[in-house]
Amino acid sequence: MNLILFGPPAAGKGTQAKRLVEERGFIQLSTGDMLRAARTSGTELGLRVAAVMDAGSLVSDEIVIALIEEQLQLHAGAPGFIFDGFPRTVAQAEALDALLASHDGGIDCVIRLVVDDSQLTARIARRFAEQGRADDNPETFVKRLAAYNAQTAPLLPYYTARGLIREVDGMASIDEVAAAIDAVLAVPA
């Protein structure tokens, strides 16, 4: 089963992905986590992407597609993948389809976590106070939300046309969102 957790920054994708990893043994592929790890370890890639991330913009398709390709190869044979924060552009979605097809697979389901902008802004303000992640500051967050609306939201029609989108109310509690995701996954696509 290959699953995309889809939604704007701070919709709860990472939280729900981690639970699915624990409960189902899926592999979480978060491009945001991979890029942050590259920065922390000071690799050449990390240095290249730092300014783009801090500006709240999207890193190039080429870079994130290469990261995903590497992880798919590394975990070939896993029971399932959860794509978290990827794809974020139509070009990334097309590349993902091609990569999965080359492993005899495809996307089975896109779970869209629906959260309104005021709730996202409140969550990010809290996360910024708690964790101090540079790109969570209010000015950068506005840019990340704009990038989502301009470049990532156009993926909704891409997956809707293929009947893959399942909407979940992301404003509910973490446990309620988890239960709603489990209910979606219990129904064959």
Stretch that binds ligand AMP, among 56-64, 96-104, 119-127, 154-162 (CB under 6 A): 56-64
If binding is defined by CB under 6 A, does position 164 make contact with ligand AMP? no
Answer for the pair 77, 103: CB distance below 8 angstroms, yes or no: no
Contact in structure between 10 and 126 (CB atoms under 8 Å) = no
Site string for ligand AMP, 64-103 (x = CB under 6 A): x--------------------xx-x---x-----------
Count, residues near ligand AMP per rule CB under 6 A: 17
Give the active site residue among 24, 39, 123, 127: 127
30 forms beta bridges with: 84
Is 88 a known active-site residue?
yes
Residue 78: Cβ within 10 Å count: 14
What residue type is assigned to position 18 of the chain?
A: K
Rounded to whole angstroms, how far apart are CA atoms 189 and 184?
9
Residue number with the smallest Cβ distance to ligand AMP: 32
Q: Which residue type does 84 have?
A: D
As a whole number of angstroms, the distance between CA 45 and CA 63 comes to 9
CA distances for 58 relative to 87, 105, 114, 126, 147, angstroms: 11, 27, 21, 23, 7
Active site residue 127: yes
> Binding pattern to ligand AMP, positions 4-23, x when CB under 6 A?
-----x--------------
Using CB under 6 A as the criterion, which residues of the chain lie in contact with ligand AMP when the complex forms?
9, 31-32, 35, 52-53, 56-59, 64, 85-86, 88, 92, 135, 144
Q: Which of the residues are catalytic?
A: 13, 88, 127, 133, 144
